[in-house]
Structure 1
Amino acid sequence: MSDPETAALRRALADQLADGGHLHTQQWRRAVESVPRHEFLRTGFFERVIGPGPTAWRPVLAESPGWLLRCYDDESFVTQVAGTIVPADIRGEILREPTSSSTLPSLVVRMLEDLQVEDGHRVLEIGTGTGYSTGLLCHRLGDDLVTSVEVDPEVSARAATSLGACGHFPDLVVGDGLAGHKDGAPYDRVIATCSVLDVPSVWVEQTRPGGIILATVTGWMHASGLVRLTVGDDGTARGRIVDESVSFMLARPQAPPPLGMLPDFGSGEERRARLAPTILTEPAARFVAQLAAPRAQHLTLPGPGGTEHILLDAGAGAWAALRQEEEQRWSVRQGGPGRLWDDVEEHLLRWQTDGAPSLEQFRIEVSPQGQRVAWAGA
């Protein structure tokens, strides 16, 4: 396709994002209309294979029919699986976990507008990915004001190639984004395109007073919330969850450990559960549970009496297994150091006593001592 034709696709994408209420300002609209998303997907992407069983992925390459038009859909695309595998490596299908992606444009521009950048602001981006959001930042602010950190050297190299094809040459850093990038500090804005278990205090240290940090806080039970923090003169960042629908892949150094050999869930101490594990289907409740058991994973296993809900802290060796005995009655068995479900129940019952506030009513502070989360009424 000629450039006028791809320009029409970019304008159509901008119209779609504006009509959907995701794109409001002329500066960001000009960025969307100028930065060609397909340049950041030239190595292809994976599409989900619909069917029973485990999730499978198949490659869609640049020469595949419809590839270019799909690049301008408001859709997220997996661009890497299993840490190293890209679409060109596969013929057929693959059953592995995604490890890098191109986020749907509506979320990208919504977050960039939430970042509230102004002319002259220096921005640190955590997670370069394909480089599309980096390109939008470069168009808005200028290459010399944008620093982007990516942990995967190959992902960073592909992003550099794509950005260069668009005429952008920001400071691309290969390294652990959880450490930020002190050489470019202080920043006016920090934005993370990966999720984190806790907002690192070094991000706060590298942001000037009055600066904004926008990141998604999550946990190993997969509840998450987009957090906007403002850094104060005292070196503490304060803010709240502004969107509970946002989720990103977890920063790789914070990925949960493999479960390994499972404990004997038939052992341990048993009691009647005060809360049913089905409460964890509610995002806010699951977020509260993560606060109580931050290193626990939630899984379900078939059992002789029906499905069992398991909380397992593989690192500590603590676990809780819940089984339904009657329609309104659940039992819990717990083993290892500590009592996971005791801690979860205590937090959840206190949250319910305070009116079960939504995630938007949660407050977050990040200081050199770490992250503190509280909800309204706590």
Structure 2
Amino acid sequence: MISARDRAEALIQELSPLDRRVADAMRAVPRHLFVPPVALASFDGEDARVIDREADPRDWWDAVYSDIPIITQLDDGTTDLRTASGTSTSSCSAPGIVARFLELLDPEPGTRVLEIGTGTGWTAALLSHLVGAANVTSIEVDPVVAERAAKNLSEAGFQPHLIVGDGAQGCASRGPFDRVHVTCGIRTVPYAWISQSRPGAVLVAPYSPGFQSDFQLRLVVTPTGVAQGRLPGLASYMLMRSQRAVPGRQPDETENKHHLTTRIDPRTIACAPAGADLAIGAMTGLTAHGSDEPDEDGERHRIWVSDPHDPDSWAVAIWRPDSEEYEVVQIGDRPVWEEVTDAYFRWVDWGEPDYDRFGMTIEPDGQRIWLDRPENPLPGPSPTGCLSGN
């Protein structure tokens, strides 16, 4: 059987080129020590399936040392992993994206790090190797996940400072921090992370506005207490619990639906590039996802658009072949489909910029997305839901 050391080395070579320090950390912190005996893995885009160290050890080891996420919890722990059915709510993230975030973070020995989302403990261990365990503070909201992570870390020989609580609050008593490493998707950056960091501190996080594409975010804290930076890549993570969208609500039989039509092919929005997704999400505050599934009338594609804070405001646009116009079903009075298409064509007017031309600024009163430079903020949604600004 292939040794864990050889498997780790093969994975590092697969991920190369890597920063030398990150590669050394991955050699020093074996991933298999942080993956439970039973978990879920998805190879080559297939549906997630059970991996069981006892029943099929080779399959388990192959999964653990592949560049894929390993799902370790479903539905906040209420669903048995063996069912392989439910919403993923905790995982050991894919090694490739973990390495890229650590490279963006660029910690030095002795750097004081705040980590949001301990998860299995693997990234806390990697950070402990990079900066020293005494300099790592890791916060996990789920007590069961936190207890398991503490056990994993102890058995692996690392003792970072672990906290069970809401990571959005940070940990002022352990600051000021030089780095903030976020391992869960966020729609908004809590200002506590900025206020608890020293000037020059770097924050990296998966920015997950929810409009189809999710992004890597890297911010630098300035002496004025403002943080700003750009979105250097793509990254999809599970959302921080306190920032999850409100679940949508299906209308009852007596509720009015607005049956509309559009000349815009719904796939124009559903298949738009990541730069468009970022701009539309920033300008409207809406979320979206698409689905391909035929019905009794044959082929169709649907894109769902919704207000993450209001379960009564959403719409679905439906593509069918050979259509002159396309059906839009809207629930609520907010014209969400019209907002989305208006924002898309604003993005087109700007020359269709890709996501790496956008950036973010965080201030005590909130965050804003800008194009090319901080002095060029995107218009945002007004209280009425319509776009404001130029």
Structure-1-length-normalised TM-score: 0.86
| Partner-residue secondary structure (3-state), 1:38 | helix
Distance in structure 2 (CA, Å) of the matches to 1:307 and 1:75: 28
CA separation of 1:338 and 1:44: change in aligned 2, threshold 3 A: same
Counterpart of 2:364 in structure 1 is 368
Distance 1:112 1:128 in 2: 15
| Contact kept in structure 1, 2:288 and 2:305, CA below 8 Å | yes
In structure 2, the residue matched to 1:260 is 249
Q: Aligned runs of 1:147-186 on 2, under 5 Å?
A: 147-186=137-176
Structure 2 residue corresponding to 1:189, chosen from 179, 183, 202: 179
Pair 1:90–1:242, CA change in 2 (3 A): closer
Determine the C-alpha separation between the residues in 2 that align with 1:191 and 1:34: 20
Which 4+ runs in 1 deviate beyond 6 A? 49-52, 263-266
Q: For each residue in 1:181-215, what CA deviation from the matched residue of structure 2 results, as whole angstroms up to 9, or x when unmatched?
A: 22211100001111101111111111111111101
Aligned to 1:322: 317
Q: Give the secondary-structure state (helix, strand or coil) at the position aligned to 2:361.
A: strand
Report the Cα distance in structure 2 between the residues aligned to 1:51 and 1:280, rounded to whole angstroms: 19
Structure 1 residue identity aligned to 2:278:
F
**Other structure's SS at 1:120 match:** coil
Answer whether contact 1:273 1:330 (CA < 8 A) is retained.
yes
Within the candidate set 16, 28, 35, 2:29 is matched to 35
Does structure 1 residue 12 correspond to structure 2 residue 4?
no
Alignment of 1:65 with 2:63, yes or no, is no
**How far is 1:352 from its partner?**
0.7
Shift of 1:39: 0.7
* CA deviation after TM superposition for structure 1 residue 327, in Å: 4.4
Matched, 1:24 2:14: no
Is residue 343 from structure 1 mapped to residue 336 from structure 2 by the alignment? Answer: no
Q: Write the letter of the residue equivalent to 1:257.
A: V
How far has the Cα of 1:311 moved from its partner? 2.0
Asked if 1 retains the 8 angstrom alpha-carbon contact of 2:269 and 2:344, the reply is no
**Pair 1:85–1:11, CA change in 2 (3 A):** farther
Counterpart-to-counterpart distance in 2, 1:320 and 1:360: 29
> 1:354 corresponds to which residue?
350
Query: What is the letter of the counterpart of residue 151 of structure 2?
Result: T
Q: What's the counterpart of residue 73 of structure 2?
A: 80
What is the distance in 1 between the residues matched to 2:132 and 2:314? 50
Q: Select which of 98, 103, 110 maps to 2:100.
A: 110
Cα gap change, 1:237 to 1:332, in 2 (>3 Å) = same
Shift of 1:373: 0.6
Q: Give the alignment partner of residue 284 of structure 1, picking from 236, 259, 275.
A: 275
Is the Cα–Cα contact under 8 Å of residues 112 and 179 in structure 2 kept in the other structure? yes
State the alpha-carbon separation in 2 of the partners of residues 317 and 50 from structure 1: 36
Give the AA of the match of 2:240. Answer: A
From 193, 200, 205, the equivalent of 1:203 is: 193
Number of residue-to-residue matches in the alignment: 366
Partner deviation per Cα, 1:112-168 (whole Å, 9 max, x = no partner): 111111222101111111111111110111111001111111111111111111110
Alpha carbons 2:139, 2:166 under 8 Å: kept: yes
Query: Aligned partners of 1:61 and 1:6: how far apart in 2?
Result: 14
Q: Alpha-carbon deviation of 1:355?
A: 0.6
1:309 equivalent among 303, 309, 328: 303
- 8 Å CA contact 2:39–2:81 kept in 1: the answer is no
For the residue of structure 1 that corresponds to 2:184, the secondary structure is strand
Unaligned runs of 5+ in 1: none
User: Using a 3 Å threshold, how does the CA distance of structure 1 residues 51 and 130 change in structure 2: closer, same or farther?
Assistant: closer
Q: Aligned letter for 1:40?
A: F
Distance 1:41 1:190 in 2: 24
Tell me if the contact between 1:62 and 1:68 (Cα under 8 Å) persists in the aligned partners.
Answer: no
AA paired with 1:116?
Answer: D
Deviation at 1:277, TM superposition (A): 4.6
**Cα distance in structure 2, aligned partners of 1:262 and 1:13:** 48
Task: Give the Cα separation in 2 of the matches to 1:263 and 1:200.
Answer: 36
Residue type at the aligned position of 2:70 = F
| Matched letter for residue 217 of structure 1 | Y
Tell me which amino acid in the other structure corresponds to 1:64: D
Contact 1:190 1:203 in 2 (8 A): yes
| In structure 1, distance between residues paired with 2:204 and 2:94 | 17
| Alpha-carbon spacing, 1:276–1:95, altered in 2? closer, same or farther (3 Å) | closer
**Are the counterparts in 2 of residues 273 and 332 from structure 1 also a CA contact under 8 Å?**
no
Contact 2:38–2:81 (8 Å) recurs in 1: no
Work out whether residues 191 and 363 of structure 2, in 8 Å CA contact, stay in contact via their aligned partners in 1. Answer: yes
Identity among equivalent positions (%) equals 31
CA apart distance, 1:319: 2.7
Secondary structure of 2:181's counterpart equals strand
Deviation at 1:339, TM superposition (A): 1.5
